[in-house]
Amino acid sequence: MNIIVVGGGKIGTTTIASLVAEGHDVTAIDHNSEVLTELTNVYDVIGVMGNGADCETLEEAGVDKAELVVAVTDSDEVNMLCCFMARQMGAAHTIARIRNPEYNDRSLSTMKQHTGLSMAINPERLAAEELYRILRLPSAVKIETFSRRKFEMIEIILKEDSPFVGVPLSELRSQFKAKFLICVVQRGESVFIPDGAFVLQGGDKVGLTASPAEIQKLLRGMGMVNKHARNVMILGGSRTAYYLAKRLASGGNNVKIIEKKLPLCDELCDLLPKATIIHGDGTDQELLLEEGLKDMDAFVSLTDMDEQNILLSFFASAHQVSKVISKVSRDELGALAQRLGLECIVSPRKIIANVLVRYARALENASGSNVETLYKLMDDGAEALEFNVKDDPRLVRIPLRTLQLKPQVLIAGILRNREAIIPSGEDVILPGDKVVVIAAAQHLQDLADILK
């Protein structure tokens, strides 16, 4: 597809990298020549210098032939204007990055109606939702949801004494009463879609699927602590911190935010009356201890500096905080932190990239069993995709055991009439179902792509 990305900042660069990797023809617009030079040197993109809300700039970028325009500059208003102009000039679909909390759901709905905006994305709000899911189930390092939370996939890291270790997967389900499926495993740098003979080891990162109730039952059976994090300390008063604290406080959690900018503290006090706002430097270890770090169920580091988030997360871990989460935007730093033992990393850039890749794949195959949900798993070594099933004779009403699937592909779940089904070889896919597929080392655009 022909895609235009307006804005070459952190989110824009990650978006461009993901779309180029998907094989799309991407044109980047930015007003900074140095940014464009860097983008065109690193990625196979066309660079156009100028204002993305300017008619001549959009015309030079070929907006009339663009199937998708993504505006991710630092200004919500510029992004909205850019998308409006792009639609007026012939772009088929537009997506705008809109971050300001003042633009609530009702405002966004009105904007979509009157400007032709296809989607609004808020990186900070999406990151806060992911953080909230993890804090709801602290045993997991990552939680992805499908079909409005009727089906979930969690990633856990196995300890050496885990009851999963040393047991073939074919025998695991008989040992636990829960209905679940282990569908992807990361061991070191390798990612596997395991079969029944696969034997898990300590240190493996395991992805498993089940309904939320069955996941709770499984974790209890494994003896893994899965109580909600009731007392949460957040470092940094960013927008992500605001969205997360608002969600946590509304659920009755005790939330404490430490922020060193006094005006921002005052603003957060007005916006979050149920949270405790501390004016102070979160890098001051004595301050963290004085504010009760050791008594916290969770510590979430959300400053603008990756290195600071990583170091302070290690400090919290050293003081026995049971759940530590760090926001890390740079891939190389996130990978390094995980190798050093920091299990839970959240990247707003990657979350947005997943959303945009999913949208682009759905556009490419709107007539088939198109992608509804897409998540990158296991440090981008695999994907989990949710497809809407059409009446395709190659797939429907056929026992799964007889389908000839490609290597490294697994049907992980079927969602039918609000019921989550962990499939066996005798199950069949029916029109109208939603199907969750796990795939490694390949990009699926249609459900039929799982077949050889």
All structural domains of the chain, each given as residue ranges with its CATH number in brackets, are 2-121 (3.40.50.720), 127-221 (3.30.70.1450), 231-321 (3.40.50.720), 350-450 (3.30.70.1450)
Q: What is the pLDDT of residue 170?
A: 87
Give yes or no for residue 95 having a pLDDT over 80: yes
- Rounded Cα–Cα distance for residues 397 and 281 (Å): 61
Q: What is the pLDDT of residue 104?
A: 67
Q: Which of 98-112, 196-210, 211-225, 367-381 is modeled with the greatest confidence?
A: 196-210
Helices vs. strands in the chain: H and E counts, helices first: 14, 22
Q: What is the pLDDT of residue 323?
A: 94
Q: What is the pLDDT of residue 216?
A: 87
- Give the mean model confidence (pLDDT) for residues 385-398: 93
Residue pair 241/249 in contact (Cβ under 8 Å)? The answer is no
Sign for the CA dihedral angle at 55, 56, 60, 61 comes to: negative
Q: What is the pLDDT of residues 259-308, one digit of tens each?
A: 999 999 999 999 999 999 999 999 999 999 999 999 999 999 999 999 99
Q: What proportions of the chain, in percent to the nearest 5, are helix, strand and coil?
A: 35, 25, 35
As a residue count, the chain comes to 452
Give yes or no for residue 60 having a pLDDT over 70: yes
Place of tokens 């850019």: 82
Give yes or no for residue 338 having a pLDDT over 90: no
Q: What is the pLDDT of residue 90?
A: 96
Q: What is the pLDDT of residue 366?
A: 65
Give kind and range of the element (H or E) at residue 219.
helix 212-222
- Give the mean model confidence (pLDDT) for residues 207-236: 87
**Tokens for 63?**
């907006």
Q: Which residues of 313-347 are buried (b: 16+ CB within 10 A; e: fewer)?
A: bbbbbeeebebbbbbbbebebbeebbeeebbbbbb
Q: What is the pLDDT of residue 331?
A: 83
Lowest mean pLDDT among 50-59, 244-253, 339-348: 339-348
Lowest mean pLDDT among 50-59, 192-201, 290-299, 336-345: 336-345
- Give the mean model confidence (pLDDT) for residues 402-431: 93
Say which amino acid occupies 46. Answer: I
Q: What is the pLDDT of residue 102?
A: 75
Residue 288 exposed, middle or buried by CB count within 10 Å (0-12, 13-18, 19+): buried
Using a pLDDT cut of 90, give the percent of the chain over it. 71
- Give the mean model confidence (pLDDT) for residues 128-139: 92
Residue pair 63/29 in contact (Cβ under 8 Å)? The answer is no
Q: Please report which confidence band the pLDDT of residue 367 belongs to, taking 50, 70 and 90 as the band edges.
A: low
- Rounded Cα–Cα distance for residues 384 and 389 (Å): 16
- Rounded Cα–Cα distance for residues 221 and 201 (Å): 18
Lowest mean pLDDT among 4-13, 169-178, 379-388: 169-178
Using a pLDDT cut of 70, give the percent of the chain over it. 98
Residue 6 exposed, middle or buried by CB count within 10 Å (0-12, 13-18, 19+): buried
Give yes or no for residue 228 having a pLDDT over 90: no
Q: What is the pLDDT of residues 147-175, one digit of tens each?
A: 878 899 999 999 898 999 998 998 887 78
Sheet (strand 276-279) strand order: 276-279, 254-259, 231-235, 298-301, 323-327, 344-346
